[in-house]
Amino acid sequence: MSVGVETPPPVNQRPEGRYHAKDFKGRVDPDWCPGCGDFGVLRSVQQTAAELGLDPHRMVVVSGIGCSSNFPGYFNAYGMHTLHGRALAVATGVKMANHELTVIVTGGDGDGYGIGGNHFAHMARRNVDLNYFVMNNQIYGLTTGQVSPTSRVGMRTKSTPFGNVERPVNPITAAIMNGATFVARGFSGDQKHLRSLMAQAIRHTGFSFIDIFSPCVTFNHDNDFPFFKQRVRRLEDDGHDPTDWKTACEKAMLWGDEIYTGLFLEVKAPALHELEPILAEGGPVARRPLGLTEDQARALIEAMV
């Protein structure tokens, strides 16, 4: 007898509105500092998942290391809390094993743009069908306040007591230049807008990336909620066309009295799992017969755990 996994019904079958945000609440409460921007991001993902009618058992949330990377523990779905900067690589494995799952990757700017910067570039290039939500607070929070790849020039932190001398990464232009097919920016203090971006990202097939301003209220007193509230301006209010590559780049470069949030760019292109010949027929790898007897499968599992 061959061992396989029973074929489940199609993904995301539930009609929209069947779930409530509380259905996506994890068993433990976040240990984030009161007022941390990550609370708004967590609420937004929970509410968006409910509004889209996603099934928790057909979702996987993958993270790296950092305050925001504790996310999978606070969310009711399958979750993997992986290594620092390696969440995208693990999530690619999940997606390629079962491309019918909704895979969300969460983390921070240090994890994603510093330690995981290499993976960020290649996920965009390969157009892996992942939803990458980065809580960008422009500092390393978990390790109590060191300069990160998005900290501004001159910023004084524990590791830069005389001011940061390095120019920050621009995650939006980096994603666009590396070929990401959905590139957006949101703000934890504007959750209605953020939920709309998340819903579009999840519906998009391909690498969907949202850089989210999510202030660290404990260690970054430069880029706090009032800083962003005074500056953020929605691209939609300016009539931005997300198919206009050149304008998307120009607007992504602006950083000053006005900083744009919204959908910068959306491009239609086949995702990696749609291009892989081995996945073209026969459904997800995870549901195919393994070609092993039950005894062989059991012995293999026992050897691995």
The residue (of 26 and 206) whose beta carbon lies closer to ligand SF4 is 26
The residue (of 4 and 30) whose beta carbon lies closer to ligand SF4 is 30
Q: Tokens for 19, please give them.
A: 């779930």
Asked whether position 32 contacts ligand SF4 by CB under 6 A, the answer is: yes
The residue (of 126 and 221) whose beta carbon lies closer to ligand SF4 is 221
From residue 206, give the alpha-carbon distance in Å to each of 14, 25, 126, 269. Answer: 22, 26, 9, 7
Determine the interface stretch with ligand SF4 among 194-202, 213-221, 250-258, 277-285 (rule: CB under 6 A).
213-221
Find the shortest distance in angstroms from Cβ 142 to ligand SF4.
6
Which residues in the 217-246 window bind ligand SF4 by CB under 6 A? 217-219
Determine the interface stretch with ligand SF4 among 137-145, 176-184, 254-262, 272-280 (rule: CB under 6 A).
137-145
Find the shortest distance in angstroms from Cβ 123 to ligand SF4.
23
Determine the interface stretch with ligand SF4 among 8-16, 211-219, 238-246, 252-260 (rule: CB under 6 A).
211-219
x/- letters, 33..72, toward ligand SF4 (CB under 6 A): x--x-x----------------------------x-----
Q: Tokens for 20, please give them.
A: 């409530």
Say how many residues touch ligand SF4, by CB under 6 A: 12
Q: Tokens for 124, please give them.
A: 């965009």
Sequence-distant (6+) residues with CB within 8 A of 81 are 63, 65, 69, 70, 72, 73
Tell me which residues touch ligand SF4 (CB under 6 A): 32-33, 36, 38, 67, 137, 141-142, 216-219
